Amino acid sequence: MDGDRIEEATLANSPADEISHLALDIGGSLIKMVYFSTGREEEQQQQQPIGKTQKDGRLLNGRISFLKFETSKINECLDFISSKQLRCSRGVQHSGFPASDKNIIKATGGGAFKFADLFKEKLNINLDKVEEMSSLVSGANFLLKAVPSEAFTYVNGQRNYVQIDHNDLYPYLLVNIGSGVSMIKVDGDGKFERVSGTSVGGGTFWGLGKLLTKCKSFDDLLEMSHQGNNRVIDMLVGDIYGGVDYLKIGLSSTAIASSFGKAISENKELEEYKPEDVARSLLRMISNNIGQIAYLNALRFGLKRIFFGGFFIRGHAYTMDTISVAVDFWSKGEAKAMFLRHEGFLGALGAFMNYQLVKEFPNSNPLVSDLTDNGIIDCCVQVSS
């Protein structure tokens, strides 16, 4: 976790950068941070992509960077902000952002309520709350419209990037798999409805996985699941049907009939199972379940595209594969599961969009297409002069 934070921070924020605006999504498990930083003034002058002052403000080049912290270690996040604030306050004048923004941070997620007093006490910062579902939606819409190659399908171990037609984006189902899962029908910019949710989500995988395998980190649990074999613990159709398929109801002998079902008949203790196999069955059970509920909601509203976000996915091949297969299986190939490269940052990005700074991001701006894998989107924002 620390490694992630430090690595991304170093990459994202060179000494010359000035952080001006920062937004947070403080969730049940993780705090996601998105911030805008500019280069030095000389660089700005050299780089102006459009090179002109707009009637109502000026354009600044910059980059949006992404960081995450564990919510249980919120002090790390406070320390990070506090260390950047010095630079930020110089940057406020330097970049031309209004000074009044200095002590206000846009924040979404439950922690924007829970930790508001802590931010005030420790940093003298007021959290300006942005509603969680609307943040998720504006973050997803921003990424889908602004960032080329943001969305992809995952089929047979292959990522296939999807070109999004801006005129044909809506409606879609957004499934955000955080600690819990929210399912949102999105009909346009700011037009959405949370149609379903489930408490069996990323927190369940991490919580149960930690108890059952004694692993120390989420990434270790994922890695374990990668090594494991779910057939050791899951009861398959073939286990019940003596090795044959049950094709009349569309189930092959290798389909899971009952997640963790073998643990009953085998009469073994937990210690007798390999943690890797437990992790694999757990990941499969939760991913399948989410894929199925997502499909049912897509069916309910006639939606063909389902975008999956949230930090549970973590770009993990087996997770994406299980979700894709579940959606494909239940929809008989009618609905498509799609994933997002900035999966975990939808809410934080949405809260950031609430500053209404980013004016220039469509594909026409060449800087935007320069998305790197280390958590930075170059962009151009418009500020009042």
Ligand X SMILES: Nc1ncnc2c1ncn2[C@@H]1O[C@H](COP(=O)(O)OP(=O)(O)OP(=O)(O)O)[C@@H](O)[C@H]1O
Size of the site for ligand PAU (CB under 6 A): 12
Amino acid making up residue 9:
A
Size of the site for ligand X (CB under 6 A): 21
Residue 198 lies near ligand PAU (rule: CB under 6 A): yes
Largest Cα–Cα distance of the chain, in whole Å?
75
Tokens of 164: 């999004």
Which one of residues 180, 275, 310, 350 is an interface residue with ligand PAU (CB under 6 A)? 180
Residue 178 lies near ligand X (rule: CB under 6 A): yes
Q: Give the one entry of ligand X, ligand PAU, none that residue 308 binds, where binding means its C-beta sits below a cut-off of 5 to 8 angstroms depending on kind.
A: none
Q: How far apart are the first and last CA of the chain?
A: 39
In angstroms, what is the minimal distance from the CB of 27 to ligand PAU?
6
Residue 182 lies near ligand PAU (rule: CB under 6 A): yes
- Per-residue interface string for the shown chain with ligand X, residues 78-107, x marking contact by CB under 6 A: ------------------------------
In angstroms, what is the minimal distance from the CB of 308 to ligand PAU?
14
In angstroms, what is the minimal distance from the CB of 284 to ligand X?
15
Residue 110 lies near ligand PAU (rule: CB under 6 A): yes
- Ordered DSSP codes for 300-348: HHT--EEEEESTTTTT-HHHHHHHHHHHHHHHTTSSEEEEETTGGGHHH
Q: Give the one entry of ligand PAU, ligand X, none that residue 344 binds, where binding means its C-beta sits below a cut-off of 5 to 8 angstroms depending on kind.
A: ligand X
**CA proximity to 381, closest of 9, 49, 91:** 49
Piece in contact with ligand X (CB under 6 A), picked from 24-32, 87-95, 98-106, 150-158? 24-32
Distances (CA, A) of 360 to 145, 306, 338, 369: 12, 27, 26, 12
Tokens of 345: 């940052």
Binding to ligand X (CB under 6 A) within 327-366 occurs at 344
In angstroms, what is the minimal distance from the CB of 107 to ligand PAU?
13
Residue 39 lies near ligand X (rule: CB under 6 A): no
For 368-373, the CB contacts below 8 A with 24+ separation are 368/146, 368/147, 368/148, 369/148, 371/147, 371/148, 371/149, 371/150, 371/341, 373/341
Q: Which residues of 138-171 are buried (b: 16+ CB within 10 A; e: fewer)?
A: bbbbbbbebbeebbbbbeeeeeeebebeeeebbb
In angstroms, what is the minimal distance from the CB of 355 to ligand X?
20
Q: Give the one entry of ligand X, ligand PAU, none that residue 209 binds, where binding means its C-beta sits below a cut-off of 5 to 8 angstroms depending on kind.
A: none
Give the nearer residue to ligand X in terms of CB position, either 348 or 358.
Answer: 348
* Contacts of residue 210, Cβ cutoff 8 Å, sequence gap at least 6: 221
Whether the Cβ atoms of residue 38 and residue 64 lie closer than 8 Å to each other: no
Which one of residues 49, 57, 96, 110 is an interface residue with ligand X (CB under 6 A)? 110
Q: Give the one entry of ligand PAU, ligand X, none that residue 198 binds, where binding means its C-beta sits below a cut-off of 5 to 8 angstroms depending on kind.
A: ligand PAU
Q: Which residues bind ligand PAU (CB under 6 A)?
A: 27-28, 110, 132, 178-182, 197-199
Q: Which residues bind ligand X (CB under 6 A)?
A: 1, 27-30, 70, 109-110, 178-180, 202-203, 205-206, 218, 310-312, 314, 344
